[in-house]
């Protein structure tokens, strides 16, 4: 087995994508999180937030690795575009052309559809822009899960910028930037009057939080020779993370440190029982892209039901869609990636 396959990134990404479905099921029904499982336990983060945090930690590790292995700007950017855009574009078009009309009156929907705004939303990774749909549901949008994609791509561009400036080769620069994001996050989370409107806006828009997590993942890669992943270390990390999860202020920093250690401990420790699974295609991106549309259509067309039944039905439907996205859209275009340019083709990241 190739060295880059002796890891569990594939399984981790799929689990994180399915956690998003589990988290969205009660919230999309209720319009709030009073039945969301992780929120009920810790009263801070949801499983959806935990999953997105995990995606950004893994992404930071793998994308910094990709630049470090092949620090060539055009090749790096081409790989990132080929990874993000094809699946995203097709998912947006499916949402605009199929999901939107199913959640409204088709004739009025298409009459009000603005092709220019649709194209702009897709090109900028904003997401599908449609006329009003799913009226009466708490979240009446065709795909509310795509907000993280543009922020992940912004992190890719940050790697490119810092890499060109030598800040990845000189890893203390990357570490310093990550610590700066952590300090800004902690300062803004105090919500003091002295905290500027700009800082509060950045915090509310998740930019600082996700940059901190992405940067932390990159630090774990850049300092990999100093980090030993052991069962004892995992136990200590768990002891740090669990108490912090009850704190609205410290949960995210704990995830960026102890949580990152646990995630990468599992990802990087070879587990023979999972070897067969990790040879399967990475359908997690497709699962993430189509999870929300499938769930909102189930809510729209089926009578009220248990959110856990909704999550189970959505999972059964979205797994084949994730496979179709991989085989028909993502993998054919990923084969256009530059050859011999380094990187980690079996460790592709997703949001």
Condensed to tens digits (0 to 9), the pLDDT of residues 200-225 reads 666 666 888 999 999 999 999 999 99
Among 87-91, 290-294, 297-301, 335-339, the least confident range: 335-339
pLDDT for the residue 341? 44
Sorted by sequence, the CB contacts under 8 Å of residue 49 that are 6+ apart come out as: 23
Tens digit of each residue's pLDDT (9 = 90 or more) over 263-312? 999 999 888 877 777 778 899 999 999 999 999 999 999 988 899 999 99
Q: Where are the domains of the chain?
A: 3-347
Tokens of 213: 């997590």
Tens digit of each residue's pLDDT (9 = 90 or more) over 25-75? 999 999 999 999 999 999 999 999 999 999 999 999 999 999 999 999 999
Rounded to an integer, what distance in angstroms lies between the CA atom of residue 208 and that of residue 192? 17
Sorted by sequence, the CB contacts under 8 Å of residue 344 that are 6+ apart come out as: 4, 62, 65, 66, 69
Q: Is 305 left (phi over 0), alpha (psi -120 to 50) or beta?
A: beta
Q: How many other β-carbons are positioned within 10 Å of the β-carbon of residue 49?
A: 22
Is the pLDDT assigned to residue 316 strictly greater than 70? yes
Tens digit of each residue's pLDDT (9 = 90 or more) over 114-154? 999 999 999 999 999 999 999 999 999 999 999 999 999 99
pLDDT for the residue 194? 57
Ramachandran angles phi, psi of 104, nearest 5°: -160, -170
Q: By the 8 A CB rule, do 238 and 232 touch?
A: no
Confidence of residue 338 (pLDDT cuts 50, 70, 90): low
Rounded to an integer, what distance in angstroms lies between the CA atom of residue 264 and that of residue 167? 23
Q: How far is CA 66 from CA 177, 193, 241, 343, in A?
A: 19, 41, 28, 4
pLDDT for the residue 348? 39
Rounded to an integer, what distance in angstroms lies between the CA atom of residue 93 and that of residue 81? 17
pLDDT for the residue 29? 95
For tokens 């790697």, name the residue. 159
Q: How many other β-carbons are positioned within 10 Å of the β-carbon of residue 300?
A: 17
Within the chain, what is the greatest distance between any pair of CA atoms? 62
Confidence of residue 339 (pLDDT cuts 50, 70, 90): low
């Amino acid at each position: 087995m190739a060295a880059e396959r002796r890891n569990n990134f594939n399984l981790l990404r799929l689990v994180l994508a399915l956690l998003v479905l589990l988290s969205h099921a009660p919230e999309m029904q209720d319009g709030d999180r009073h039945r969301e499982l992780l929120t009920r336990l810790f009263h801070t983060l949801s499983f959806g937030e935990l999953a997105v945090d995990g995606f950004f930690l893994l992404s930071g590790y793998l994308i910094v690795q990709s630049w470090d292995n092949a620090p060539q700007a055009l090749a790096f950017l081409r790989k990132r575009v080929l990874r993000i855009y094809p699946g995203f574009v097709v998912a947006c078009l499916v949402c605009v052309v199929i999901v939107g009309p199913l959640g409204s009156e088709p004739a009025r929907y298409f009459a009000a559809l603005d092709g220019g705004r649709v194209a702009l939303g897709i090109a900028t990774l904003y997401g599908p822009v449609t006329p009003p749909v799913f009226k009466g549901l708490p979240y009446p949008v065709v795909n509310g899960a795509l907000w993280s994609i543009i922020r992940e791509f912004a992190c890719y561009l940050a790697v490119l910028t810092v890499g060109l400036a030598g800040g990845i080769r000189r890893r203390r620069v990357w570490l310093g930037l990550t610590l700066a994001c952590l300090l800004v996050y902690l300062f803004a989370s105090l919500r003091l009057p002295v905290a500027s409107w700009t800082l509060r806006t950045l915090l509310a828009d998740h930019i600082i939080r996700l940059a901190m997590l992405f940067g932390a993942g990159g630090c774990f890669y850049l300092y990999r020779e100093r980090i030993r992943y052991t069962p004892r270390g995992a136990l200590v990390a768990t002891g740090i993370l669990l108490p912090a999860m009850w704190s609205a202020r410290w949960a995210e920093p704990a995830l960026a440190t102890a949580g990152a250690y646990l995630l990468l401990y599992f990802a990087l420790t070879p587990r023979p029982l999972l070897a067969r699974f990790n040879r399967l295609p990475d359908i997690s991106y497709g699962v993430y892209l189509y999870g929300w549309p499938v769930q909102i259509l189930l809510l729209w067309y089926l009578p009220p039901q248990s959110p856990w039944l909704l999550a189970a039905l959505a999972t059964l439907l979205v797994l084949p869609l994730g496979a179709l996205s991989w085989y028909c859209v993502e993998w054919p275009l990923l084969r256009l990636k530059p050859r011999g340019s380094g990187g980690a083709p079996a460790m592709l990241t997703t949001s």
